[in-house]
Chain A
């Protein structure tokens, strides 16, 4: 088994930056393990049938609405475009569904993006310095997913109960890391790798 190279290997370093406060760092950045990402994309005419098959394959009760995510075992499924679901799971996870071309298309995108995990009381404040989306609780509660942009980069932001993640295409990984750490320093930043 060949090790996957984390896009931020050699760039992201553990450390503590910015003003100290009694409450601890405002933001903690970490790198989630490299995982799998399968895109499942039905056609307009097969959408309901494929969604049902995908839900069954994942053991999920129902698939999430656009912009939302659902958990299914060790996987997360996000409805990222009207006709596209993303199924995120551990490294090496197989495509959850085999589709006939008449039903839709599946695609491995596991290496396309670089993710940084953001936690801490100032996590949303940090992301607001990069993305123009509404991150308030009522608009972006846990299990939300958004395709947006930051500093001219296509950016995905997702939120679970425990953390946010900011994704950019892999080639932008260092640029986004520099922006995240720069903006986060004012809140007190811990990089935990």
Chain B
């Protein structure tokens, strides 16, 4: 026998029939069903196979704690593994499949594992495949692959996710998590007091426990009227209601991580709507009305299809109009189960209730009697019968403390188990608040939230009855109001935590014989014996128990088995449960999609992209781009048949022969202003800046506090109190932060303002023997004659734009290429016009635009350093720049650069490298070694290489211990660790081309 749809009842719309597919067969359900309720209604029993033993599993719960009905949804790229059927909202056309089984969940070959179950106890894999076998790493890696294939759950699609996701920022005064009686009352109370409230519900339907208590009344109203009244009271004050949204984690300062399932319930959503939405909700106060989770009792084969949680059986009947079976045995050890059993019996189903007590309170016995529930006093469940689904239950006489004597089998198709209720304290645990054991509840209650802006209401706080929960919600909302300074004079006191009835401390039923396979955590296939084995092997700390047995790990997060596991460990070690402790529940409360974590940070938007104001001009020229940090930098401009090497070598050659122009807009630019600006720069740079004349630029070298080189660039003095600093592209942001930190925390007395103008100005460098010819007539108000505009000079004027008009420009005579060169900066919106104007002149002079690759060739030929040399490990002396450092002043880094390690004579220092054999090509990153001593990290490394047209060979820069002093003219080896190739190279001066710098001057 199995489940079926009751002829009436349930919060489903029987007028809306929905077709769906389960493992290839078509079934029908109704609007308002979950996949689990629809499958139960269709009589499906085996819906999954267990993690380790591949035991058949059916629906075990009606909520997030589901451990049995874990399924695949959809096909192809949209396939979702491990979906809990109890949480999947049924829609027309839904496709669902069994998982972790072959050929299917009903006939699974992997079930052979179950026969070997006695060998698969806790730690089996470690002991066998890392202990007996697998002592070599390769052996373990070999076995691991096989184990991973056999164990585990579903598999994700390997195709790219076709859906998109987004992250949204939200704010509110009070976030109420859970829309049961406590949550609804709290949300309405807070909203009516004028607070901005968000009510969060993980289910698609609001109401929480009210959904399965349709017969009850609340505060004198029917459940439906009461619920509608609270929601009206909330929405009339602008309160927001987020259903299908799970508050999966609580974070600092009232931040609630929420995941909204936006389109999963839509049959054909518009492509623009994201599948899921991660909401980062910043709440001033958080009210947890998260309810409680029923826990099972461990007894023999308590994982068979048909063994379910007691309240879940009621939920299917009340909320979905589905009978889990026809003959139901409630195996319970708490008073609340009477209500559930009675409710189910009233649907016309045959219900038997086992109570371990010999004497049952009269009112409970009367309730059972009235509802037609057969009550068996003094009995507990011993072992479920029926391999593919429950066919009966061996019951036993309770001897006390869970010990029993098997007595007889009773026929049934469903076993509804209730071992008590665990308040859902998970979210509070995310904040590091430890739950506290209550002997009255036989459960962990929320601990004192301390300074956290969090309140707990309703059954989550140990107030499980509906009236009490509603009152608790109102009282807690008033506490939140007080905390926000809005408390009224009169406010209710929250009802004290009080269980709804008595619970007997029965966690596991044991008999002398036979040996039972009793599951504590069915999702992770952890049995009661595993817990005892862990104890025997010394894993007595709950944290060790959890890791050794996998109890309560992964998606379960202790929802089902934690308390039972703790109780068994407490018994084994002779301690109490509170002495045994509890593990820390971690976010997420339920699994969340990785896509939602990434949001829109995927594809080309995995990080932002920066483009210079002349980007379109480079595209128009057919230029290629290279990623440099976030920037798209122009790389080279190939002619037909050219590649990166040939194009960049041509461009570099033309710069040396005539003239070229390159986009240098990516340089960081910082305006430094104020009466103390010169003093500030003098402290920041290692070389002197105080006396830099107005109208001049200077190369500056900036150290970190620890004495290592941080950044370099030129800084231009525009007036006595105004400087224009340039930084490297890579360090524009870090330098800005460094300067802001210094001004705000080290030297707040300095009157200096710094402002990023990186994007206000765009620039080009015009370089080559004909650069002056190009620029001579291009400007109004700037004389480019050598005397009038000397090297390192700075001028401001107006650029005459092709097509008429002028734009302001800031020009400095600087050279990175080693040629006669100027850097020209214009306000960014004028840069396309500037580029077009100068390009025409450059081309007229026989020149070309050049890209980053040619720029790199030119600077390597000159021995100029970039981030490849200033790599965060090198000092100024290492880079042959030590002579620049002032000995007369104190500056950032001046003390710590004198550390012994940084001043050792055997540090690798900058050298030039040329191949010994013509045509041989060293690689960047090669290890430099003395001949015959290719060991370890050698003498140093190759930092940069360039295929130099003027040298006619591949040249390199690198660092060698002892530097030029020791190795000038000598041959060493450049060993490539990637391909194992070795190139003989000669150590030379890094100044390959025009070493006296004559070409820059004149």
Residues of chain A at the chain B interface (Cβ within 8 Å): 1-7, 9-10, 17-19, 34, 39, 41, 43, 83-84, 101-102, 104-105, 107-113, 125, 128-129, 131-136, 139, 151-153, 169-175, 178-179, 182-183, 185-186
Contact A186 B613 (CB under 8 A): no
B167: chain A residues at CB < 8 Å are 129
Interface string of B803-842 (1 = CB under 8 A from A): 0111100000000000000000001111111000000000
Chosen A-B contacts, 18 in total, with CB atoms closer than 8 Å, are A2-B807, A2-B833, A3-B833, A5-B829, A101-B720, A102-B675, A104-B753, A105-B721, A108-B760, A111-B761, A112-B756, A112-B760, A129-B168, A132-B282, A133-B169, A169-B759, A178-B605, A183-B600
- Is the beta-carbon distance between A2 and B270 smaller than 8 angstroms? no
Question: Cα distance A153–B270 when bound, in Å?
Answer: 29
Return the contact of A112 from the options B673, B757, B831 (Cβ within 8 A): B757
A172-B270 in contact given A4-B830, A110-B760 (Cβ < 8 Å)? no
**In the assembly, what is the distance between CA of A152 and CA of B874, in Å?**
29
State the CA gap A3–B805 with chains docked (Å): 9
Can you list the 8 inter-chain pairs with the closest CB atoms, starting with the nearest? A4-B829, A105-B673, A185-B272, A171-B610, A112-B760, A2-B805, A101-B721, A111-B828
Q: Which residues of B contact A3 (CB under 8 A)?
A: 833
A136-B198 Cα distance, complex, nearest whole Å: 13
CB pair A170–B753 under 8 Å, yes or no, is no
Cα of A96 to Cα of B957 in the assembled complex, Å: 51
Question: Nearest Cβ distance between residue B963 and chain A, in whole angstroms?
Answer: 39
Known pairs A109-B760, A171-B610, A178-B605; A128 contacts B753 (CB<8 A): no
Residue in A5, A111, A133 whose Cβ sees the most chain B Cβ within 10 Å: A111
| B753 engages A5 (CB within 8 Å) | no
In whole angstroms, how far apart are the Cα atoms of A8 and B607 in the complex? Answer: 19
The distance in angstroms between the C-alpha atoms of A63 and B760, with both chains bound, is 25
Is B171 in contact with chain A by the CB < 8 A criterion?
Answer: yes
* Residue from A1, A105, A125, A151 whose CB has the most chain B CB atoms within 10 Å: A105
Report how many residues on chain B are interfacial, defined by Cβ distance under 8 Å. Answer: 54
| Chain A neighbourhood of B600, CB < 8 A | 151, 179, 182-183
The answer on a CB contact under 8 Å between B721 and A186 is no
Question: Can you name the residue of chain B whose Cβ is closest to the Cβ of A136?
Answer: B171
- Whether the Cβ atoms of A111 and B196 lie closer than 8 Å is no
A107 touches B755 (CB 8 A): yes
Q: Is the CB of A170 within 8 A of B755?
A: no
With beta carbons under 8 angstroms apart, the residue of B273, B274, B755, B831 that contacts A5 is B831
A148 to chain B, nearest CB (A): 10
Query: Given known contacts A105-B674, A136-B196, is B753 in contact with A186 (CB within 8 Å)?
Result: no
A152 CB contacts on chain B under 8 angstroms: 607-608
Contacting pair A19 B270 (CB below 8 A): yes
A135 partner residues in chain B, CB cutoff 8 A: 171
Query: Binary interface profile of B, 599-626, with partner A (CB < 8 Å = 1, else 0)?
Result: 0110001011111110010000000000
**Whole-angstrom distance from the CB of A129 to the nearest CB of chain B?**
5
Whether B166 contacts A129 by the Cβ 8 Å rule is: yes
A84, B829: Cβ atoms under 8 Å? no
Interchain CB contact under 8 A, B757 and A34? no
B674 touches A101 (CB 8 A): yes
| CB 8 Å contact bits of B749-769 with A (1 = contact, 0 = none) | 001010111111100000000
A9 partner residues in chain B, CB cutoff 8 A: 616
- Give Cα A107–Cα B761 distance, bound, in whole angstroms: 13
- Taking CB atoms, residues of chain A closer than 8 Å to B605 are 151, 175, 178-179
Q: Is the CB of A174 within 8 A of B611?
A: yes
| B631 in the interface (beta carbon within 8 A) | yes
Give me the interface of B with A, judged by CB distance under 8 Å: 166-171, 196, 270, 272-274, 280, 282, 600-601, 605, 607-613, 616, 631, 665, 671, 673-675, 720-722, 751, 753, 755-761, 801, 804-807, 827-833
B829 x A34 contact (CB < 8 A): yes
Given the interface contacts A110-B827, A169-B758, A171-B610, does A183 sit within 8 Å of B166 by beta carbon? yes
Residues of B within 8 A of A83 (CB): 753
| B169 and A128 form a contact (CB under 8 A) | yes
Q: Is the interface of A mostly helix, strand, loop or mixed?
A: loop
Find the A residue at minimum CB distance from B720: A101
Q: In the complex, what residues of A have CB within 8 A of residue B274's CB?
A: 186
Name the contact of A128 in the complex, choosing from B170, B272, B675, B760 (C-beta under 8 A): B170
B171 CB contact (under 8 Å) in A2, A4, A41, A134: A134
B731 to chain A, nearest CB (A): 16
| Distance to closest chain A CB from B455 (angstroms) | 22
B280 touches A10 (CB 8 A): no
CB-based contact B827/A41 at 8 Å? no
CB B741 to nearest CB in A, in angstroms, measures 15
Quote the shortest CB–CB distance from B609 to chain A (angstroms). Answer: 5
Q: In the complex, how many angstroms separate the beta carbon of B852 from the nearest chain A beta carbon?
A: 16
* Docked pose: A135 CA to B631 CA in angstroms: 31
Q: How far is the CB of A168 from chain B (nearest CB, A)?
A: 9
Closest to A127 in B: B169
Q: Which residues from chain B contact A186 at a C-beta distance below 8 Å?
A: 270, 272-274
A153 to B759, CA, bound (A): 13
Whether B169 lies near A132 (C-beta < 8 A) is: yes
Find out whether the CB atom of A101 lies under 8 angstroms from the CB atom of B760. Answer: no
CA distance A129 to B167 in the complex (A): 6
Please tell me if the beta carbons of B760 and A18 are within 8 angstroms of each other in the complex.
no
CB contact between B806 and one of A2, A4, A43 (< 8 Å): that residue: A2
- Chain A residues with Cβ under 8 A from B273's Cβ? 19, 186
Cα(A108)–Cα(B718), bound, Å = 14
B170 to chain A, nearest CB (A): 7
Contact B805 A170 (CB under 8 A): no
**17 extra interchain contacts, Cβ-Cβ under 8 A, other than A110-B829, A139-B171, A172-B610?**
A2-B806, A4-B829, A5-B829, A17-B272, A101-B675, A104-B753, A105-B722, A111-B827, A134-B282, A169-B756, A170-B759, A170-B760, A172-B609, A175-B605, A178-B605, A179-B600, A182-B600
From A130, which residue of chain B is reached at the shortest CB distance?
B169
CA distance A1 to B808 in the complex (A): 11
Expressed in whole angstroms, the Cα–Cα distance for A6 and B167 within the complex equals 29
A5:B607 contact, CB within 8 angstroms: no
Q: In this complex, what residue of A is CB-closest to B270?
A: A19
A102 to B757, CA, bound (A): 22
A4 partner residues in chain B, CB cutoff 8 A: 829-830
B440 to chain A, nearest CB (A): 42
Please give, as numbers and ranges, the residues of chain A lying within 8 Å of B805 by CB-CB distance: 1-2
Question: How far in angstroms is the closest Cβ of chain A from B619?
Answer: 10
A90 vs chain B, min Cβ distance (A): 14
Tell me if A109 and B757 are in contact (CB < 8 A): yes
A126 to B759 Cα, complex, angstroms? 25
Residues of A within 8 A of B170 (CB): 128
A contact residues around B833 at 8 Å (CB): 2-3, 5
User: Pick the contact of A113 from B196, B601, B759 — CB < 8 Å?
Assistant: B759
Q: Closest CB-CB distance, B122 to chain A, in whole Å?
A: 44
Closest to A83 in B: B753
Are B169 and A175 closer than 8 Å at their CB atoms? no
Question: Shortest beta-carbon distance, A26 to chain B, in Å?
Answer: 11
Minimum distance in angstroms from A131 CB to a CB of chain B: 7
Closest Cβ–Cβ distance, residue A114 to chain B (whole Å):
8
B759 touches A111 (CB 8 A): yes
Given A7-B613, A112-B760, answer yes or no on A41-B753 (Cβ-Cβ < 8 Å).
yes
In the bound complex, do residue A171 and residue B270 qualify as a contact, i.e. CB atoms below 8 Å apart?
Answer: no
Complex alpha-carbon distance, A25 and B805, angstroms: 41
